[in-house]
């Protein structure tokens, strides 16, 4: 459903679904019920200023009946954000697509405490393209190639490619050479298939019994540092020996690559989630997750020609000492 309010300062207006019934006579009463404990005067001021609108864009007032609207839109009051010390770089731009190298630590889209500090909002403001929309997503901690649609008229043709899995993605990661204790040495290339679930209420994706819904091909590309002892990690938890791996996901579940590497006893370096969830800590910009979206390729639905976009970034742990 298209918002009747335009993008403002790079951010979409917020949509709220009103309940069909309840003890509230007006939309104002319902909003005060939901958020009155936070800023009741601010809610009243927004209604008085006509800043809360219905499906047609017409402003609501304090007396608008609850049942007059199913959805309403408004602009959130955004808290100040400190700029993250990372930068985007543009790999390709035309009238239909924008391709960028997203850095580690920058989320793809607004969420949680990151609104202005997201790739989408930064790019909308930088390029003055309010209709910019991501074609897919990368985790905040993952860097690499990220595609955006710049043209609403051709957007659907690209979305179909992702929906029908006609886009091939290639990732790289750095992990240990020797698996964790209790894991057998895998043979490469390896094909990891399992069933994963992830709920909004739990940080981690979980592997469960059932028909597989994820699949990743994993190949060891290069030995970066030879293991110098039989154990996988030293007493400080650092891996003995590092290798560069190529990951080709055939499905796109959240945290899929991180879970699949951990399932081999080869958790990706600097991963705070897998195989062990670490205590929450401030971002350490010197130790990014060693996972990079290296490339993406597909047949362009407009030209009919194969295209490929490659990241120009390098994983810090992939460099030889």
Amino acid 153: pLDDT: 96
Residue 258 CB-half CA count within 13 A: 24
Q: In whole numbers, what is the pLDDT of the chain averaged over residues?
A: 92
Q: By the 8 A CB rule, do 72 and 52 touch? A: yes
**What CA–CA distance (Å, rounded) separates 256 from 250?**
10
For strands 89-93 and 190-197, give the pairing.
unpaired
204-241: pLDDT as tens digits: 998 999 999 999 999 999 999 887 655 445 554 555 68
Question: What percentage of the chain carries pLDDT values higher than 70?
Answer: 96
pLDDT at 264: 95
Report how far residue 305's alpha carbon sits from residue 293's, in angstroms, rounded to the nearest whole number.
Answer: 22
The model's pLDDT over 169-191, given as tens digits with 9 standing for 90+, comes to 999 999 999 898 889 999 999 99
What is the DSSP secondary-structure string of 3-23?
Answer: -SSPPBTTBPPEEEEPPSSSS
- Residue 52 CB-half CA count within 13 A: 24
pLDDT score at 20: 87
Task: Specify the pLDDT at position 240.
Answer: 65
pTM, whole model, 2 decimals? 0.89
pLDDT 10s digits, 28-63: 999 999 988 888 999 999 999 999 999 999 999 999
105 near 92, Cβ under 8 Å?
A: no
Identify the three-state secondary structure at position 163. Answer: helix
Checking if the pLDDT of 1 tops 80, the result is no
The strand pairing partners of 78, in sequence order, are: none
Distance CA 266, CA 242 (A): 10
User: What is the per-residue pLDDT for 279?
Assistant: 85
57: left (phi over 0), alpha (psi -120 to 50) or beta: left
């Amino acid at each position: 459903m298209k918002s009747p309010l335009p993008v403002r300062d790079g951010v979409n207006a917020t949509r709220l679904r009103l309940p069909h019934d309840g003890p509230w006579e007006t939309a104002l009463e319902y909003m005060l019920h939901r958020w009155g404990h936070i800023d009741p005067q601010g809610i009243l001021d927004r209604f008085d200023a006509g800043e809360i609108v219905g499906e047609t864009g017409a402003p609501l007032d304090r007396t608008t009946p609850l049942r007059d609207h199913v959805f309403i839109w408004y602009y959130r009051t955004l808290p100040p954000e400190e700029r993250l010390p990372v930068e985007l770089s543009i790999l390709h731009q035309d009238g239909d697509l924008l391709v960028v190298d997203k850095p580690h630590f920058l989320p793809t889209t607004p969420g949680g405490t990151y609104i202005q500090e997201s790739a989408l909002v930064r790019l909308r403001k930088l390029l003055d393209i309010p209709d910019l929309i991501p074609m897919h997503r990368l985790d905040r901690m993952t860097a690499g190639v990220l595609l955006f649609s710049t043209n609403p008229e051709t957007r659907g043709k690209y979305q179909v490619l992702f929906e029908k899995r006609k886009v091939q993605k290639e990732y790289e990661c750095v992990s240990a050479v020797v698996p964790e204790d209790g894991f057998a040495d895998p043979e490469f290339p390896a094909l990891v298939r399992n069933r994963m679930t992830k709920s909004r209420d739990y940080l981690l994706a979980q592997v469960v019994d059932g028909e597989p819904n994820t699949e990743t091909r994993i190949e060891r590309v290069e030995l970066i540092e030879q293991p110098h002892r039989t154990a996988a990690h030293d007493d400080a938890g650092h891996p003995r020996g590092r290798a560069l791996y190529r990951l080709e996901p055939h499905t796109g579940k959240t945290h899929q690559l991180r879970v699949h590497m951990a399932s081999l006893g080869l958790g990706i370096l600097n991963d705070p989630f897998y195989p062990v969830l670490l205590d929450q800590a401030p971002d350490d910009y010197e130790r990014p997750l060693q996972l990079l979206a290296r490339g993406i390729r597909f047949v362009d639905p407009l030209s009919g020609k194969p295209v490929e976009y490659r990241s120009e970034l390098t994983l810090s742990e992939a460099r030889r000492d």
